A = this chain, B = another copy of it.
Amino acid sequence: MKKVVNNVDQVVEEMLDGIVTAHSDSIKRIDNTTVLVRQDAPIKGKVGLVSGGGSGHEPAHAGYIGQGMLDAAVVGEVFTSPTPDQVYEAIKAVDSGEGVLLIIKNYTGDVMNFEMAAELAEVEGINVEKVIVDDDVAVEDSTFTTGRRGIAGTVFVHKVAGAIAESGASLTEVRAAAEKVIANVRSMGVALSACTVPAAGKSSFALDDNEMEIGIGIHGESGIERVPLQSADKIVERLLNQITADIDYQDSEVAVMVNGMGATPEMELYIVYRHVAKLLAEKGITIYNKWVGEYMTALEMSGFSITLLKVDDQLKDGLNAISQAKAFRV
């Protein structure tokens, strides 16, 4: 796999340089860290929101920094959790005295490092709460996880928690809203081709010309099964059946995300969305709102995921609230 890079060991550093150079009006970098924060952080009277994880999932998570979403994104090496001291720096940078919520995707390394950072911050008297996103219904455990993985549904957690925090809610209230999203969001993905970590130089796995992998994660972890490539409609049916078997969406309203994994043309994402909408109508599930695009990628992996969030009035308000984050403008 060819890449537009200079030194494979400097890709994250150079990406951070690029992001901060491009978006210095809204984002700043904490010196000597890989932490990006809102230019106006900490924001008086507002709970701080911190997320992050390995890089390679762009626009996650730096693209979700901004009014109405995250205060900080902690950026690890490619597909590698950031260290506790980096997360700690983010917590300190965004705490205005109202406390900080950590939004963690459920990977063993992320959970451990974010929790250690929370302990460091609490010693300093900062009130820290955390939520762990585990929306992927594909596998119960995986290469990098105990329990379900956190994937694209995380973006809905950022959005709703961000809106509630912006409204001046307490840390307890912001955490409760984030937990409500997590309880009601499910996702599942498929890959048609793998991706290459720059420093590794070769793909994490290989698929034949006629194969796809169902239930893939966002780091090239294994899925449930490797099967012959099927039509878009068949793949959508497979993913939606597993998602809707997990919680009862019947007669509900949902927010839908069709998320490209990195190399899938938008044309194909809309072909997918078309069938998602048809099948949900058949299942008696009403689409309240939808997002079609690249929100949580795996470098140049080809494939997509589907996310359904069952919404009530509070979650609808959270999704509809203003967001100035560059990758999620509302």
A interface residues, Cβ below 8 angstroms from B: 2-6, 11-12, 14-15, 17-19, 21-22, 55-56, 58-59, 63, 192-193, 209-210, 212, 229, 231-233, 235, 262-274, 277, 290, 292, 294, 297, 299-300, 302-304, 329
B residues less than 8 Å from A262 (CB atoms) = 263, 265
Residue of B nearest to A281 (CB): B21
- Which listed residue (B15, B265, B272) contacts A18, Cβ 8 A? B272
Minimum distance in angstroms from A94 CB to a CB of chain B? 22
- Which listed residue (B4, B59, B271, B300) contacts A15, Cβ 8 A? B271
A2-B272 in contact given A265-B58, A292-B22 (Cβ < 8 Å): no
Minimum distance in angstroms from A56 CB to a CB of chain B? 7
- Which listed residue (B55, B267, B303) contacts A267, Cβ 8 A? B55
Could you pull out 9 A-B pairs where Cβ atoms are within 8 angstroms? A2-B193, A4-B235, A6-B233, A18-B273, A21-B277, A22-B273, A56-B267, A58-B265, A262-B263
Determine the distance from Cα of A61 to Cα of B146 in the docked complex, in whole angstroms: 43
Minimum distance in angstroms from A181 CB to a CB of chain B? 21
Determine the distance from Cα of A268 to Cα of B209 in the docked complex, in whole angstroms: 26
B residues less than 8 Å from A59 (CB atoms) = 266
Interface centre among A56, A266, A300 (most CB of B within 10 A): A266
B residues less than 8 Å from A231 (CB atoms) = 5-6
Determine the distance from Cα of A277 to Cα of B329 in the docked complex, in whole angstroms: 25
Residue of B nearest to A266 (CB): B58
- Which listed residue (B4, B12, B63, B272) contacts A4, Cβ 8 A? B272
Determine the distance from Cα of A273 to Cα of B272 in the docked complex, in whole angstroms: 31
A3-B233 in contact given A21-B274, A22-B277 (Cβ < 8 Å): no
Let me know if B297 and A266 touch, CB within 8 A.
yes
Which 4 A-B residue pairs are closest in the complex by CB-CB distance?
A: A18-B270, A18-B274, A58-B266, A263-B263
Let me know if A5 and B268 touch, CB within 8 A.
yes
B residues less than 8 Å from A329 (CB atoms) = 329
Let me know if B55 and A19 touch, CB within 8 A.
no
B residues less than 8 Å from A22 (CB atoms) = 270, 273, 277, 290, 292
Residue of B nearest to A7 (CB): B231
Interface centre among A193, A229, A300 (most CB of B within 10 A): A300
- Which listed residue (B14, B232, B300) contacts A264, Cβ 8 A? B300
B residues less than 8 Å from A235 (CB atoms) = 4
Let me know if B212 and A271 touch, CB within 8 A.
no
B residues less than 8 Å from A294 (CB atoms) = 266, 294
B residues less than 8 Å from A18 (CB atoms) = 269-274, 277, 292
Let me know if A300 and B263 touch, CB within 8 A.
yes
